[in-house]
Amino acid sequence: MISLFDILDKLMTVLLKTKLFTQRTSKYFAIVVIGGLSLDTCFFLHGYGYASSNLNNSNYILQTNQNYQVKGSYKDFLLVLAQRETGQENPPNNIENQLGFIGKYQFGEALLKDLGYYDTLNPYIGGGNGIEKNYWRGKWRGKNAINSKQDFLNNKNNVQEKAIQEAFRYKWELIKNQLNGHSIKEFIGQRRGNVVITTSGIIAAAHLCGEGGVIKLLLNNQVSQDENGTSILAYLREFGGFQTPFD
Per-residue confidence (pLDDT) for residue 54, from 0 to 100: 29
Question: Does residue 152 lie within any of the structural domains?
Answer: yes
Is residue 19 assigned to a domain?
no
CA distance 138 to 123: 9
Is residue 10 included in any domain, yes or no?
A: no
Report pLDDT digits (tens) over 77-89.
999 999 999 999 9
At 175 the three-state DSSP class reads helix
Domain that holds residue 192: 60-238
Instruction: Kindly tell me if the per-residue pLDDT of 185 is higher than 90.
Output: yes
Q: Beta strands of the chain (E only): which ranges?
A: 29-35, 38-44, 118-119, 139-140, 191-192, 195-196
Domain count, the chain: 1
List 33's β-bridge partners, or say none. Answer: 40
**E runs forming strands in 150-241:** 191-192, 195-196
Q: Is residue 171 part of a domain?
A: yes
Q: 244 or 36: which carries more pLDDT confidence?
A: 244
Query: Which comes out higher in pLDDT, residue 69 or 35?
Result: 69
| Cβ contacts of 87-90, under 8 Å, gap ≥ 24 | 87/22, 87/50, 87/51, 88/51, 89/22, 89/51, 89/52
Q: 32-68 burial, b if ≥16 CB within 10 A, otherwise e?
A: eeeeeeeeeeeeebbbbbbbbbebeebeeebebeeeb
Burial class (CB in 10 A: 0-12, 13-18, 19+), 98: exposed
**pLDDT tens per residue, range 9-19:** 444 444 444 43
CATH number of the domain enclosing 214: 1.10.530
Query: What mean pLDDT do residues 114-126 have?
Result: 93
Assign 102 to helix, strand or coil: strand
Alpha-carbon distance of 60 to 70, in angstroms, equals 6
**225, containing H or E segment:** none
Specify if 191 maps to a domain. yes
* Rounded Cα distance, 108 and 91, in Å: 17
Average pLDDT over residues 157-167: 98
Note whether 117 and 142 are within 8 A (CB): no
In a domain, 105, yes or no: yes
Region 187-202: mean pLDDT is 96
Do 93 and 155 touch, CB atoms closer than 8 A? Answer: yes
3-state secondary structure of 41: strand
Q: Return the pLDDT at 130.
A: 76
The pLDDT, as a whole number, for residue 69 is: 66
75 sits in the region (left: phi over 0; alpha: psi -120 to 50; else beta) called alpha
| pLDDT tens digits for range 90-117 | 999 999 999 999 999 999 999 999 999 9
Which of the two residues, 8 and 214, has the higher pLDDT score? 214
Mean local confidence (pLDDT), 164-189: 97
Backbone angles phi, psi at 23, to 5 degrees: -110, 150
Listing DSSP states for 110-135 in one string gives HHHHHTTSEE-SS--STTTTS--S--
